Amino acid sequence: MGEMLGQLRRTHMAGHVNESLIGQEIIVTGWVSKRRNLGALIFCDVRDREGILQVVFREEAAKEAYEKADLLRTEYCILVRGVVERRESVNDSIPTGQVELIAKELKILSESETPPIYIKENLDASEHIRLKYRYLDLRRPDMQKIFKIRSKAYISIRNFMDQEGFLEVETPILNKSTPEGARDYLVPSRNYPGTFYALPQSPQIFKQLLMVSGFDKYFQIAKCFRDEDLRANRQPEFTQIDIEMSFVGVEDVIALNERLVQRVFKEVLDKEVVIPFERLTYKDAMERFGSDKPDLRFGMELKDLSDIVRDTEFVVFRNALDANGSVRAITLSGGASMGRKDIDRLGEFVKTYRAKGLAYIQLKEEGVKTALSKFLSEDEITSIIDRAEAKTGDLILIVADKDEVVFQSLGALRLDLAKKYGLLEGTEEFKFAWVTEFPLLERDEEAGRFVALHHPFTSPMEEDLHLLDTDPGKARAKAYDMVLNGEELGGGSIRIHDSKLQEKMFSLLGFTQEQAWARFGFLLEAFKYGPPPHGGLAFGMDRLVMFLAGTENIKDVIAFPKNQNAFDPMSEAPNVVDEVQLQELGIEISKISAQE
């Protein structure tokens, strides 16, 4: 049985002990991270949340403590009272490395079996074992660091929003399930058997209602839920920084969020983020980077060659142009020496994005080398080289297809090459940008109708309002995404606050009035009573913390995440429940699944 704490209390965090304490008697607590028995001396590293301190047990100085220290094993939880002394052999690799604690008294607060994972940085263990013993995984210093960053980010965000006059308001978790929406997590109701609550995919409607209520500026760090098949870096429950403001336009929301991000990076990482961020329209982003979340840390921009080859008879280019597509290129600096096999692999790569092939021009020392010379004139090839801003030693890569395919394939190829050829080395650490003027609608070819690119409450741009009647697919939205290093960090829009415009939008989306009211009736009803103009934004909190902590795994930034099957190996949730619980809820497990 572990010893009791009694009246003894920690006076200092082990990781904070330094030369200013030399000669003082202190008490530290923590876990045994290493122990070496050198005869009359026992050395023991004690680890707490703040770091590691070397403790020395001397047989002749404190016999009882020394004898107990001999029982210590890794991960025992202990308390040590002792005197801080200067260390003979300084350890520069830890902040407390100038000193050590000479123990007078030791309490073994609890013992530990041999842990199933090592409590150390950069652990190389299977995800399953890390999640099963998550409480030990979280004891590792690199994980502790991440959750300190996450906690700092929360308070930084909240103080900023508070100072800007935003009220934090909690919206409900037990919500209405909306027919035809993405897949909700459902919660059976006991009071009304046969009915269900749904966990929120976002507080979107509630935050708009809070604007109707005149709250003026709202934010919340909110839990959201999506019952989707989990791709990498998706979790069934995730956290969103949710913001909404009244009486604002696009510029107001953008300016506020730039200052928010600047503050968080300064306070959490002491990094200076320059504002305003670079801005690109959706159109520019696609044409220059082949992506609506462009990574601006490096160039290698897409170049449109369509006008140069507009009269070509080369069938690949001809077909693309005739189908209203385009011919575009990117240039890999120094890529001319790439071998045939490697270039073929790039061709395979773009095919996964539905491109039919990859043409290329090698600008070798000995001259231009390209299969295209069979089809294109020397002038045309020279013009392509000019347009592609290629110089000797470079490789020009060309895709011809529908715009959508050209953008996707060259956009992905650009990122892939940047990683493979180290184009990101030495670039800015954090490169923010806004992408604006998104299309309002996109065509769902399968369903043969439009769907909202963001959501059905997104306002069209005023100058495009007339297009809703004539060519709705061309209308742009007052929507904006914040992009960081090629990832979408947040997105939002100015909302429609006019019920007539909202009805028109629903009809463009193919909803009957009944369907619209079934889904969003209470919002439409609210819009009858003087809704203010409003707009907002939502950030992925988990993704933000991933950037702040420098990890690419979302499970690293969530204390108790689920695995890819939405299962928690530690608690073994979800699990089977008592039949009586289901009876109370008026539900049964279907026979088919019961047999499984």
Specify whether the backbone of 233 is left (phi greater than 0), alpha (psi in -120 to 50) or beta: left
Q: What is the CA radius of gyration of the chain?
A: 30
Q: Tokens for 348?
A: 């395979």
Stretch that binds its own copies, among 97-105, 170-178, 299-307, 381-389 (CB under 8 A): 170-178
Residue 304, annotated as binding a ligand: no
Nearest-approach distance from CB 45 to its own copies, in angstroms: 14
551 touches its own copies by CB under 8 A = no
202 touches its own copies by CB under 8 A = no
Task: Look at residues 158, 101, 112, 151 and name the one whose alpha carbon lies nearest to residue 135.
Answer: 112
154 touches its own copies by CB under 8 A = yes
Q: What is the DSSP string of 416-430?
A: HHHHHTTTTTTS-S-
Asked if residues 451 and 442 have their Cβ atoms less than 8 Å apart, the reply is yes
Kindly tell me which residue out of 59, 237, 284, 416 binds its own copies, with binding defined by CB under 8 A: 237
Stretch that binds its own copies, among 178-186, 257-265, 294-302, 327-335 (CB under 8 A): 178-186
CA 398/CA 357 separation, integer angstroms: 9
CA 67/CA 61 separation, integer angstroms: 11
10 touches its own copies by CB under 8 A = yes
Q: How many CA atoms, within 13 angstroms, populate the side-chain half-sphere of residue 4?
A: 2
Pairing of the two strands 51-58 and 99-110:
parallel
Stretch that binds its own copies, among 213-221, 287-295, 375-383, 441-449 (CB under 8 A): 213-221
Site track for its own copies across 45-74, x = CB under 8 A: --xxx-------------------------
531 touches its own copies by CB under 8 A = yes
Site track for its own copies across 87-116, x = CB under 8 A: ----------------------xxxxx-x-
456 touches its own copies by CB under 8 A = no
Phi, psi at 134, each rounded to 5°: -60, -35
Task: Closer to its own copies by CB, 381 or 566: give it.
Answer: 566
Kindly tell me which residue out of 25, 216, 416, 503 binds its own copies, with binding defined by CB under 8 A: 216
Length of the chain: 596
512 touches its own copies by CB under 8 A = no
Which residues from 239-278 bind its own copies, rule CB under 8 A?
Answer: 239, 246-249, 252
Binding-site residue total for its own copies (CB under 8 A)?
A: 132
Residue 111, annotated as binding a ligand: no
Stretch that binds its own copies, among 34-42, 326-334, 444-452, 569-577 (CB under 8 A): 569-577
31 touches its own copies by CB under 8 A = yes
578 touches its own copies by CB under 8 A = yes
Task: Look at residues 483, 307, 331 and name the one whose alpha carbon lies nearest to residue 392.
Answer: 331
- 154-159 long-range contacts, CB within 8 A, separation 24+: 154/221, 156/263, 156/264, 156/267, 156/268, 157/221, 157/241, 157/260, 157/264, 158/221
Residue 158, annotated as binding a ligand: no
Nearest-approach distance from CB 236 to its own copies, in angstroms: 6
Asked if residues 210 and 456 have their Cβ atoms less than 8 Å apart, the reply is no
Residue 556, annotated as binding a ligand: no
Binding site: what residues are annotated? Answer: 180, 226-228, 235, 454, 488, 495, 540-543
